[in-house]
């Protein structure tokens, strides 16, 4: 953070006649060096930096700090790696897997075939002779859609609500937080159940949104308190002083700093969507539409899956699937948290020691540290 | 500390929340096309009743008279609800408030005991994990906590029900106390209640304490690295004082509000839990109501649970100032 102090010093010495230059980021490199041309015919806006940075170089830098470095960190932490692999596997099953596994119908095989006995039905069959593996696979796309819709909806709402109200402050903030507080107090599950009973939703997108209908409020509050810390940062005040519009400040100065929180919560919400939706399907509180892990659980449970050993494979297959997906998302969320949180990572690096101390590892660390602290001082 | 201004603001907030929730309920009952009111009316019409009788019947069930203008319906509904008149169950033919009043203590019992256990186990576990951080105990219990957290509580409930309930027959599989046990303050009744509540409480606790332990571990580790802790050590304060006054207090306080909010979610999860264990609490009746399309009971339960949570959070917020002296808010300038 030393360089930026020099930065200020440099600008201060020339502020007298070069205030205009502060509008343009790219000329600031020049002012720092103190080599501003005093020739009145040359506008400060025409001054070109000494170091030429091509567009592709800049893209490469962004790529490096945003994708490559976090990717490496993710890969070095076994928990994050496992989480990522599990989630990725589910996405593959939901997109490609559906093409490779045929949809199964009643009387495809013998009734209640045990698992791991024939290749035709690796996980056995249910009481109507349907292949359990195929049912699991074909339920995946709808589940993924549900997760995505729910997480997207609540993140979108939370980001708008939290960031805007936190930055705006005053009565806007008070009103928006009052609404969020009310939403937060209404207990989730009863509201979801009541809404589901009245609306009778069938599209996975709709269901995804309904099961986390008020989850955004809590996160909006967390985001807001983060934004409250940021809104008095010097770089935000600088942007405000030179009259940059509120939306631009929010998107360029505030949002990048809360992005880590948002990404981590996206994954957490996705996990909650699945837990809720499957739970509601299991109880039969959501309408039956197509193959579905929760419906499988419900049918197996209804026929005595809890105490009839010959039904165990039918009942436990979707249950294990859900636990694996949930575990994957949980680990992924924690891994992402690790990427963005320099404190956790620094501690982590100290403890694993040795292995990470090659030049590559150190590079990653500095890149992301800068990424996190950019302008945060 | 709690200032009068904060107290008034917070109380107003709780009241407003309650009004919003009642209005929301009214909107859901009255305004949804094909919703509860339409359903009740069509049920009555199908039974061949005259329109006037239908209106009276509908009013008996839902405290809304469809023949009045909308604003009047809203006012009547609001007044009735505030007086505790939640309409009459269509399935049980009893007043909703009476059904819920009988069921409520059981749900509160299960939720509160679970919450206490979750935080007791979670906090002591998390604190110990942070203390011996990096050791085998920490790593193995962190893993167990993550695993337990990733299992939905209803999965644990079902497994417990099968294994301890049906298979080993150690615990009863339904009801809140044994048949023929006399209600009252006697040992037989209390032990029966404990016996029946054990499995629901166990499943909530098992599924819940992992997250608390991990949160506590994270908080405590963060505090162990603070500068004031180094100062405390340099001052040669006793281990005990450091552990209790410096680490534990700062790590536990931020969890206080989340504790009250989690009571709300425990209340909510009773819908799934009580159905699995056939435990006749509020959630059980809500499930029954939804299956039977008994809208008055369903909306009544919703209001009931929400009111419980609002009060819980209200108390938490008011007392938080006493518990954590750092809490306090100044007004911020608007841009």
Walk along chain B (335 residues) and give the pLDDT tens digit of each residue: 557 888 888 888 888 888 888 888 888 877 666 666 777 777 777 777 776 677 777 777 766 766 677 788 888 888 888 877 777 777 787 888 888 888 888 888 898 899 999 999 998 888 888 888 888 888 898 888 888 887 888 888 888 888 888 778 888 877 777 766 777 777 778 888 888 888 899 999 998 888 889 888 888 888 887 888 888 889 988 888 888 888 888 888 777 767 777 777 788 888 888 888 888 888 888 888 888 778 788 888 888 888 888 888 888 778 777 776 665 444 444 45
The number of angstroms, rounded, from the C-alpha of B79 to the middle of its chain's C-alpha atoms is 26
Residue A72 within a domain: no
- Tell me: do A151 and A42 sit in the same domain: no
Tell me: do A257 and A292 sit in the same domain: yes
Instruction: Decide if A352 is inside a domain.
Output: no
Structure confidence at residue B322 (pLDDT): 73
B111 Cβ contact partners less than 8 Å away, ≥ 6 residues apart: B204, B263, B266, B267, B270
Q: Give the pLDDT score at A256.
A: 81
Q: Are B212 and B119 in contact (CB under 8 A)?
A: yes
Chain B residues touching residue A278 (CB < 8 angstroms): 152
Whole-number average pLDDT of chain A: 74
Q: Output the CATH code of domain B96-327.
A: 1.10.3720.10
Q: What pLDDT, on the 0 to 100 scale, is given for residue B251?
A: 81
**A3: pLDDT confidence band, cut at 50, 70 and 90?**
very low
Of B113, B133, B139, B112, the C-alpha closest to B247 is: B133
Tell whether B222 lies on the interface with A, counting CB pairs under 8 A. yes
- Contact state of B334 with A181 under an 8 Å Cβ cutoff: no
* The pLDDT of residue A157: 92
Shared-domain flag, residues A155 and A255: yes
Mean pLDDT lowest for which of A195-209, A231-245, A295-309?
A295-309
Q: Chain A window 113-152: which residues touch B at a Cβ cutoff of 8 Å?
A: none
Mean pLDDT of A75-95: 86
Considering all CA atoms of chain A, what is the largest pairwise distance in Å, rounded to the nearest integer? 90
> Which positions 65-84 of A are in contact with B (Cβ < 8 Å)?
79
A281 contacts chain B (CB < 8 A): no
B162, B264, B290: residue with CB nearest A306: B162
H or E element in which residue A160 lies: helix A132-168
The predicted pLDDT at position B332 comes to 41
Would you state the pLDDT for residue A351? Answer: 42
Residues A140 and A35 placed together within one structural domain of the fold = no
**Is the same domain home to A31 and A110?**
no
Residue-level pLDDT at A340: 67
Looking at residue B186, its pLDDT comes to 77
Q: Is the separation of the CB atoms in B239 and B131 below 8 Å?
A: no
Cβ-Cβ contacts under 8 Å, A338 against chain B: none
In DSSP notation, A270-298 reads HHHHHHHHHHHHHTT-S---SS-HHHHHH
Same domain, A40 and A99: no
Residue A15: partners with Cβ closer than 8 Å, 6 or more residues away? none
In a shared domain, residues A335 and A292: yes
pLDDT band at A135 (very low <50, low <70, confident <90, very high): confident
Range of the domain at A42: 23-51
Whether residue A209 lies inside any domain: the answer is yes
CB-CB contact of A304 with A190 (8 Å): no
A178, closest residue in chain B (CA to CA) = B13
pLDDT score for A89:
92
Do residue A34 and residue A167 come from a single domain? Answer: no
Q: Per-domain residue ranges for chain B?
A: 96-327
% chain A with pLDDT above 70: 71
Q: Is A131 helix (H, G, I), strand (E, B) or coil?
A: strand
CA distance A190 to chain B (A): 6
Q: What is the model's pTM?
A: 0.72
- Res. A288 pLDDT band, cuts 50 70 90: confident
Task: Give me the pLDDT at residue A355, please.
Answer: 36
Q: Are residues A29 and A164 in the same domain?
A: no
pLDDT at A86: 92
Q: What total number of domains does chain A contain?
A: 2
Q: Which of A77-81, A217-221, A240-244, B9-13 has the lowest mean pLDDT?
A: A77-81
Q: Is residue A68 part of a domain?
A: no
pLDDT for A38 equals 55
Q: What is the distance between the alpha carbons of residues A357 and A349, in angstroms, rounded to a whole number?
A: 8
Within a domain: A7? no
Q: Is B300 on the interface with A (CB under 8 A)?
A: no
Nearest to B290 among A181, A278, A285 (CB): A285
Asked whether residue A370 is assigned to any structural domain, the reply reads no
Per-residue pLDDT at A316: 82
**Can you give the pLDDT at residue A42?**
63
**Does residue A183 share a domain with residue A327?**
yes
């Amino acid at each position: 953070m030393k360089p930026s102090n020099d930065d200020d010093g440099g600008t201060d010495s020339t502020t007298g006649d070069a205030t205009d230059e502060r509008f343009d980021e790219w000329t600031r490199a020049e002012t720092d060096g103190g080599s501003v041309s005093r020739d009145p015919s040359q506008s400060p806006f025409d001054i070109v930096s000494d170091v030429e940075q091509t567009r592709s170089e800049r893209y490469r830098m962004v790529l490096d700090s945003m994708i490559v470095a976090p990717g490496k960190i993710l890969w070095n932490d076994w928990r994050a790696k496992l989480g990522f692999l599990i989630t990725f596997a589910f996405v593959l099953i939901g997109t490609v897997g559906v093409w490779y596994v045929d949809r199964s119908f009643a009387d495809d095989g013998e009734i209640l075939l045990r698992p791991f006995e024939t290749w035709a039905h690796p996980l056995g069959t249910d009481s109507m002779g349907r292949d359990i593996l195929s049912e699991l696979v074909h339920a995946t796309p709808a589940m993924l859609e549900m997760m995505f819709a729910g997480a997207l909806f609540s993140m979108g709402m939370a980001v708008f609500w939290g960031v805007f109200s936190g930055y705006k402050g005053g009565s806007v903030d008070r009103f928006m937080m009052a609404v969020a507080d009310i939403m937060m107090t209404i207990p989730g599950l009863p509201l979801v159940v009541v809404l589901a009973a009245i609306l009778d939703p069938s599209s996975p997108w709709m269901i995804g949104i309904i099961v986390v209908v008020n989850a955004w409020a809590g996160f909006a509050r967390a985001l807001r308190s983060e934004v409250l810390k940021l809104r008095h940062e010097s770089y935000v005040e600088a942007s405000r002083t030179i009259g940059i519009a509120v939306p631009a400040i929010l998107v360029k100065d505030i949002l990048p700093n809360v992005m880590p929180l948002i990404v981590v919560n996206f994954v957490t919400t996705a996990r909650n969507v699945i837990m809720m939706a499957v739970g509601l399907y299991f109880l039969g509180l959501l309408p039956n539409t197509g193959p579905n892990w929760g419906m499988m659980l419900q049918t197996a449970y209804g026929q005595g899956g809890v105490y009839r050993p010959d039904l165990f494979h039918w009942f436990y297959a979707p249950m294990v699937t859900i636990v694996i997906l949930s575990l994957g998302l949980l680990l992924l969320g924690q891994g992402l948290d690790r990427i963005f949180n320099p404190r956790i990572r620094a501690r982590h690096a100290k403890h694993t020691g040795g292995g990470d101390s090659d030049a590559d590892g150190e590079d990653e660390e500095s890149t992301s540290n800068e990424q996190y602290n950019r302008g945060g001082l | 500390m709690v200032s009068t201004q904060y107290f008034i603001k917070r109380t107003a907030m709780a009241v407003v929340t309650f009004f919003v929730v009642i209005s929301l309920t009214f909107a859901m009952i009255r305004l949804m096309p094909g919703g509860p009111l339409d359903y009740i009316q069509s049920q009555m019409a199908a039974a061949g009743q005259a329109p006037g009788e239908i209106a009276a019947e509908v009013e008996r069930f839902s405290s809304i008279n469809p023949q009045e203008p909308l604003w009047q319906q809203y006012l009547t509904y609001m007044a009735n609800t505030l007086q505790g008149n939640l309409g009459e169950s269509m399935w049980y033919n009893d007043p909703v408030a009476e059904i819920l009043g009988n069921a409520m203590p059981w749900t509160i019992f299960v939720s509160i005991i679970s919450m206490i256990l979750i935080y007791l186990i979670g906090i002591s576990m998390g604190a110990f994990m942070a203390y011996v951080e990096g050791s085998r105990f920490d790593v193995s219990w962190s893993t167990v906590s993550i695993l337990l957290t990733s299992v939905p509580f209803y999965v644990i409930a079902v497994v417990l029900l099968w294994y301890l309930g049906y298979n080993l027959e150690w615990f009863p599989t339904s009801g809140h106390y044994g048949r023929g046990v006399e209600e009252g303050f006697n040992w037989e009744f209390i032990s029966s209640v404990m016996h029946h509540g054990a499995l629901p409480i166990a499943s909530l606790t098992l599924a819940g304490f992992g997250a608390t332990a991990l949160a506590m571990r994270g908080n405590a580790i963060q505090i162990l690295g603070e500068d004031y802790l180094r100062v405390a050590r340099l001052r040669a304060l006793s281990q005990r004082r450091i552990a209790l006054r410096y680490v534990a207090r700062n790590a536990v306080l931020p969890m206080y509000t989340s504790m009250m909010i989690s009571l709300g979610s425990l209340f909510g999860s009773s819908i799934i839990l009580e159905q699995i264990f056939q435990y006749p609490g509020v959630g059980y009746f809500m499930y029954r109501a939804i299956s039977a399309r008994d809208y008055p009971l369903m909306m009544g339960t919703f209001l009931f649970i929400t009111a419980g949570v609002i009060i819980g959070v209200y108390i938490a917020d008011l007392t938080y100032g006493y518990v954590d002296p750092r809490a306090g808010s100044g007004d911020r300038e608007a841009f």
